[in-house]
Amino acid sequence: MEVLTLNGQPLSLAEIEAASLDRCRVEVSQPAWERGAASRALIERIVAEGQTVYGVNTGFGKLADVRISNDNLAQLQTNLVRSHAGGVGNPMSEAEARAMLLLRANVLAKGFSGTRPEVLDLLIGMLNAGVHPVIPEKGSVGASGDLAPLAHLALVVIGEGEAFYKGERMAGGEALRRAGLKPVQLAAKEGLALLNGTQAMAAVGGLAAARARRLVQLADLAGAMSLDALLGTPVAFDPRIHRARPHAGQVASAAHLVALMKGSEIRESHREHCSRVQDAYCLRCMPQVHGAVRGVLAHVAGVVETEAGSATDNPLVFPELAENGTDCGSVLSGGNFHGAPLSYAFDYAAIAVTDLAGITERRIDRLLNPDINEGLPAFLSPDPGLSSGFMIAQIVAAALINECQVLSHPSSTSSIPTDGGKEDHVSMGMTGALKLRQIVEHVERVVGIELMCAAQAIEFRRPLQSSPNLEGALAVVRSVVPRLEQDRVLSGDIEAIAAAVRAGKFNSWCDEA
């Protein structure tokens, strides 16, 4: 994708990644500029007529009953940004910061925020020039949206805070100057329009969900390698079985597994004389489990896509015209900033991806455990006893999964009232997004461990070859980590194979049939 044009539309995970990771150019459609101008005209009229409207000429949250004079409206918005920039912890990645800029710009492009064109123009300019605000990842409760993270983004918009530019961390104003951009002086409503919303949780959780969707594809690949190495059968993936229980993810996963194993000499070598009736669940039930994870992640992707094309600030500006052409627009206060839809979705994804790791670890154990690994050497060691082989790799996987199990406890059920009780029910969606990101990172390591062990196991079946797809994946493993001939430090191997998973080096071998 060379150019992504924003019109306030829903954005797919692929489009979010295109702007965030691939840095495609971002533009705004002409209708979006026109809608924005109309909503801004209504805000200007309200200010000129002296009407009292929340967020335009009042305080915020518990202070909403305090009227602010017209002379102080610009200062009110600047104060809001500064006072809410209280985030702590590590900065979000540049990709996550870019996703936040993209999603916030798309909110303004819907035309319900009442901002001037120069605010949206600067967000787009920052994206295209690579000015990435330094945004601490902790401090949001997910209502009134992601206030603290978005405030740190808005600081750079007004020439304050910090930003990364060309790999260097510097003052926000300096980053804008080097990029040939100018900060804006916020006017009525504009600070609030930048701060209210769910763009931090949507950015972090959306990018994590995209990684998870690729990961479940790769789990099919790793599982097929393990099944072949363990002399298992793909009979349980027969499409007739899955048409009898036609969950879309299950059907897709079964077909994928069949395609991955097509042409395996290892499979053919034991087809006629295998005495085993059924494989263990971690092998036989891959379509049911992996497929269910696919279904969860498809649902989560849909939630993120809808949220990306939603107006999530407050109040919303509706510049409607009466039948006679006169302006009868409305500015309405509501709660679209509440992160519940995303919060529930990310908790759901966390549970599913954690369970994906669980079934993966059971396959790792079957490859290593001499009591059940179909005649393979204990722990896949060329010299069991003198060498421990991959013993520690399974232990590391167990440790990572235990942490995932703790992290998969839902954050969405743990509301803590804030803002003097005005915000008395919050989503904790940012916590859910951060947990999901960490879980996905751990599971990338666990699936990498299975790939590493399965590759070693297949090599013990030589001279027989596995299928073309699985031999291709094995070659990728060997391009990253060498065969284990004698004991060595495995931590570097595990991180290297996880980095290869993250970088998509296996993707061409696990494409859908």
Query: Within a domain: residue 152?
Result: yes
Give me the count of residues in the chain: 513
Q: What is the mean pLDDT of residues 73-82?
A: 92
Does residue 275 have a pLDDT over 90?
A: no
Instruction: Say if residue 133 is in the same domain as residue 12.
Output: yes
Q: What percent of the chain has pLDDT over 90?
A: 86
Q: What pLDDT score does 67 carry? A: 86
Question: Same domain, yes or no, for 144 and 245?
Answer: no
Asked if the structure places residue 330 within a domain, the reply is: no
Q: Are residues 247 and 357 in the same domain?
A: yes
CATH number of the domain that residue 62 is part of = 1.10.275.10
Over the stretch 178-205, which tens digit does the pLDDT of each residue have? 999 999 999 999 999 999 999 999 999 9
Q: Provide Rg for the chain, Cα atoms.
A: 26
pLDDT at 254 over 60: yes
**Quick check: is 328 in a domain?**
no
For residue 54, indicate whether it is catalytic: yes
Q: Please say if the pLDDT value at position 156 is more than 80.
A: yes
Q: Is the pLDDT of residue 81 over 80?
A: yes
Q: Six-digit token pair at 64?
A: 């909403």
Q: Are residues 419 and 498 in the same domain?
A: yes
Average pLDDT (378-406) is 97
448, 450, 452, 462: which is closest to 483 by C-alpha? 452
Q: What is the structure's pLDDT at 61?
A: 74
Dist. CA 53–CA 39, nearest whole Å: 14
Whichever domain contains 298, its CATH number is 1.20.200.10
Q: Which of 54, 165, 344, 348 is catalytic?
A: 54
On whether both 292 and 149 belong to a single domain, the answer is no
User: What pLDDT digit, counting tens, does each position of 449-481 carry?
Assistant: 999 999 999 999 999 999 999 999 999 999 999
State the burial class of residue 321 (Cβ atoms within 10 Å of its Cβ: 0-12, 13-18, 19+).
Answer: exposed
Domain count, the chain: 2
pLDDT band per the 50, 70, 90 thresholds, residue 277: confident
Residues 307 and 220 both lie in one domain? yes
Averaged pLDDT, 7-23: 97
Query: CA–CA separation, 389 vs 379, rounded Å?
Result: 5
> Domain of 227?
205-320+335-509
Query: CB atoms < 10 A from the CB of 130, how many?
Result: 16
Same domain, 246 and 108: no
In a domain, 329, yes or no: no
Share of the chain above pLDDT 70, in %: 97
Listed residues 197, 217, 248: the one ending a domain:
197
CA distance 187 to 95: 29
The chain-wide mean pLDDT, for the chain, equals 94
Of 37-51, 285-299, 440-454, the one with minimum mean pLDDT is 37-51
What is the DSSP annotation of 344-371? HHHHHHHHHHHHHHHHHHHHHHHHH-TT
pLDDT of residue 1: 80
Instruction: Say if 166 falls within a structural domain.
Output: yes
286 is a domain residue: yes
Residues 422 and 348 in one domain: yes
At residue 53, does pLDDT exceed 90? no
> Is residue 325 domain-resident?
no
Mean pLDDT, range 43-52, rounded to an integer: 87
Both 154 and 243 in one domain: the answer is no
- Per residue in 349-384, pLDDT (tens digit) is 999 999 999 999 999 999 999 999 999 999 999 999
Pair 388, 413 in one domain: yes
Those residues whose C-beta lies under 8 Å from the C-beta of residue 178, and which sit 6 or more positions away, are 165, 166, 170
pLDDT of residue 513: 43
Residue 63 lies in a domain: yes
Q: How confident is the model at residue 101 (pLDDT cuts 50, 70, 90)?
A: very high
- Same domain for 193 and 234, yes or no, is no
Q: Would you say 429 and 474 are in contact if contact means Cβ atoms under 8 Å apart?
A: no
- What is the C-alpha to C-alpha distance for residues 82 and 151, in angstroms, rounded to an integer? 7
Within this chain, do residues 420 and 496 fall inside the same structural domain, yes or no? yes
Q: Which of 197, 232, 253 is the C-terminal boundary of a domain?
A: 197
Last residue of a domain, one of 147, 174, 197: 197
